[in-house]
Every structure is written in structure tokens, then in C-alpha cells.
Amino acid sequence: MGWVDVFRRGRAAVPRHSWSVFGPKRRLRSVQPVEMLRVIRFPHLNLVQTHVQPSKFQTQLVRWGTVLAVTSATYQFLTNLHTVPITGRTQVVVLSREEECELGNKTAQEELAGAKTIDDGPRLQLCLDVATRLVSVSEHLFPREYDWRVWLVDNPSSANACCAPGGKIIVQTGILDLIDFAVQKGICRNKHDALAVVMAHEIGHALARHTAESMSMLPLMYLQLILGMESPLLEYIFQFAFNLPFSRSQEAEADHIGIMLLASACYDPSEAPRLWKAFTAFYADPEAGEGALDMDFDWVSTHPSNRKREKALDALVEAALELQRSSSWCAFLQQKVLELVGANTEAELLHHIRAAMTEARAEEAHATSGAERTQRRRNTIGAIHELESQEMLKVIRGEAAQLEQ
């Protein structure tokens, strides 16, 4: 039996009733005639095809609907343009101030749920003093629109702080440990200026309304989801091309606002780049616990690298110092503090403070006009943009603690 017989028997082994699975029941010719390739038009299809053209009314409806949608989107865009303070950048924020504050209250409640807050002690007082000073200056420079609150959370494992929309500041004790490390290593000069860098950055986020701006970008996020449903690659491209760079730009802008704000509050702006140098040293120090070395390539992160932030802030120090020098009350406040802190005991310090306040009130009483009284008060008491006496006392105590270190 040759191979031809085997081949034939193999083909015959397949039953004829199953040929529909392995091949067509009817063998087609290899070349179809031309008449078999022409499109056959059926009467009912021709009738449908002759009526698919839109009417004039439908065309006008689509046209005016498109114009209305574009006009509405343009109106929403133009009526929600805002200017970021200090940097002057134009942003789009759809949320109102009331909605933003409500969102901040809910966010703060979620962050504080189950957290162990510290309600007393020198660390909390340090945070309150620095925040009071920065907020007082920010409210003089910008409209008073937020209900500022400060919480200190006992969390040594987190060297972080955040500010929810509406002025809700949450500080983790881990950031205070990092500041202590920076002062002990000689990287930062004192705790007050270093903490002012952190809190001014967070206040900068609130003043720039970064959270509300991010939520205004939700339509783009919906576009990301729509595109990402069919292609995960497009979702990653959108993430690395838009989301992460946008977040890093907001962080850099908060650094810019923060250094100008702390300079206006008479803190040392040169402490800002030193703090980020301390961040790098802290996580590189084996005794600081777990932590990864800072990476210069930050394209996979929501924050710029510590080294990049250090360089960017170092470039802004001179402008911040110039702003501080233009505020004559800063030099006067520092001089007044040096005079008052000469005492060795708190009783003598308070005596000098009361004497300075009494002298200020006396000069205010001799002033003839309201404008003159205001100017006398600024020149004599050295108040940070007309702080109340109790807040001024906190500021002076904070400066005294700095000089004693």
C-alpha cells in the first residue's frame, strides 16, 4: 500500500455528514464570475438609503446645539478664572469658597479620625505660635476668607504636614523630629524658622486653592477614564504627561508662596533651602530609621525631589530677603525683640512687654487722627500688621526662644 492509498483512506475516514465542520458542504469555484461580485440592491434597502440625509431642521439643531455648548463652556471658563497670589499665575477654579471650606472640614475630619492628637505641651504651642504669625500676615496680604485651625498629631513615623482646603492645618510629630534632627546636625539654625518653612508651604497650598483647582480638572480625569477603558497605555500616558507634572508644579508654587510668606512674617527665608537639605540628610542617615535616598528623577512622583526643591528655593532667597527688607516693621520688630529679651527671667520680660504696650497706648492717645494713631501704633509696638496684644506676646516669646537656643 503506497502513500497515496493512505492519504485517500485518511480522507475517507471523515464522515460526510461532518464535512460542514472541516469544509463547506458545497465546493466553491476558485474563481468567481464577475456577476457574483456585484452588489445586489434590494428595494427596501434602497428606500432606507434615500431617507438617511438629515433634514434642514436637524442640521440647524445640531449646529446651534454645538454653538450653545461651546459658549457655555467658554463662559464657565472665563467666569472661573482666578489669579494665584504672589506668583500671579492664572488658574481655573470652579468651586466656590463655601464649597471649598466644606470640603476642607470633611477632609480634616477624615484625616483626624482615629488619630491621636496632642492637646497641650511645648510642641503644640510652637505650632500655634508659628501658625498665628504666618496666618496674621497672610490675612493682611490677602482677604480673610478661611477659618484657620491647627492640629498636632502624634505620629513619629510620618515626617509630614498638610493643609486641607479652608485653612485646616495638620502637623505630624514626625516633621518636628526631623526639624530637631536638622538643628542638632547644624543644618538648620533654629526650630521656629524651620517649622515656618513647612507651615508656610502648607498655607501656600490653601492660599493658591490647589485642591479646588485639582477638582476643577475632573472633566480631564473623566476623559482619562474614557480613554483608559480600552487602552491602559493611554491611561499611563495621561498620568505621566499631565497628572504628575501638574502636581509637581503645584508643589513648586506652594514653595514659592511659602518662602515669600515667611519672609513677610520676619522669618529667615534662607532657612527654606537648608530644610530641604536636612530632608535629604535625614533619610540618608542610618540612625533616622527606614527611608529611601532622595532621587533626582522625580517624573514618577507627585512632588519634586528634595534636591530640586533646595535649588529652586535657594534661587528665591535673595528676592525674599529683598521683600523682607522692604517691610520696615520687620527690622523694627527684630530690634524690639532684642531689647526685650535682655532679661533673664520671664517676670522681667513680661514687665518690659507691658511697659512697651503702655507706651504704645500713650502715644496712640496723643495722636490727632485715626491714620496717625495707626501709624504710631505700627511704629511703636512693632506689631505684625496690627496683631492683638496677646498675639504679639506669642510672637515675642517665640523670638525669645529662638535667641536663647
Q: Which residues of 32-51 are buried (b: 16+ CB within 10 A; e: fewer)?
A: eeeeeeeeeeeeeeeeeeee
Mean pLDDT of 22-27: 46
Higher pLDDT, 66 or 97: 97
Mean pLDDT over each residue of the chain, to the nearest integer:
74
Give the pLDDT score at 226: 56
Residue whose C-alpha cell is 542610618: 286
Higher pLDDT, 362 or 99: 99
Residue whose C-alpha cell is 513677610: 264
Higher pLDDT, 384 or 196: 196
3-class SS of residue 150: strand
Q: Is the pLDDT of residue 118 over 70?
A: yes
234 by Cβ neighbours in 10 Å (0-12 / 13-18 / 19+) ranks as middle
Mean pLDDT of 363-384: 52
Task: Report which of 180, 176, 195 is spatially closest to residue 258, judged by C-alpha positions.
Answer: 195
Distance, in Å, from the CA atom of 226 to the CA atom of 228, rounded to the nearest integer, reads 5
Q: Is the pLDDT of residue 172 over 50?
A: yes
Q: What is the pLDDT of residues 250-284, one digit of tens each?
A: 999 999 999 999 998 889 999 999 999 999 888 87
152 neighbors 248 (Cβ within 8 angstroms): no
- Give me Rg for the CA atoms of the chain: 35
- The top-scoring range by mean pLDDT among 140-144, 220-224, 225-229, 353-357 is 140-144
Predicted confidence band of residue 19 (pLDDT cuts 50, 70, 90): very low
Q: What is the pLDDT of residues 26-69, one digit of tens each?
A: 444 555 554 554 545 555 544 444 455 667 777 777 778 777 76
Q: Is the pLDDT of residue 161 over 90?
A: yes
Q: What are phi and psi of 149, to 5 degrees?
A: -140, 150
Q: Which of 2-6, 99-103, 116-120, 200-204 shows the lowest per-residue confidence on average (mean pLDDT)?
A: 2-6
Higher pLDDT, 10 or 192: 192
Higher pLDDT, 232 or 10: 232
Give the pLDDT score at 261: 92
Mean pLDDT of 166-187: 93
Q: What residues contact residue 211 under an 8 Å CB cut-off, 6+ apart? A: 100, 103, 104, 107, 164, 165, 205
Give the pLDDT score at 289: 46
Catalogue the long-range contacts made by 299-306 (C-beta closer than 8 Å, 24 or more residues apart).
Answer: 299/240, 299/244, 299/245, 300/240, 300/244, 301/244, 301/248, 302/244, 302/247, 302/248, 302/251, 303/247, 303/248, 303/251, 304/248, 304/251, 304/252, 306/276, 306/277, 306/279, 306/280
Give, as one character, the DSSP assignment of residue 345.
Answer: S
Higher pLDDT, 140 or 9: 140
Residue whose C-alpha cell is 494665584: 84
Mean pLDDT of 334-353: 52
Distance, in Å, from the CA atom of 336 to the CA atom of 350, rounded to the nearest integer, reads 13
Give the pLDDT score at 352: 56
Give the pLDDT score at 57: 77
Q: Is the pLDDT of residue 396 over 70?
A: no
Q: Which of 139-143, 351-355, 375-379 shows the lowest per-residue confidence on average (mean pLDDT)?
A: 375-379
Q: What is the pTM of this model?
A: 0.65
Q: Which of 142-146, 258-262, 393-397 shows the lowest per-residue confidence on average (mean pLDDT)?
A: 393-397
Give the pLDDT score at 301: 83
Q: Is the pLDDT of residue 224 over 80?
A: no
Q: Percent of the chain having pLDDT more than 90?
A: 27
Task: Report which of 308, 194, 210, 212 is spatially closest to residue 259, judged by C-alpha positions.
Answer: 194
Q: What are phi and psi of 341, to 5 degrees?
A: -90, 5
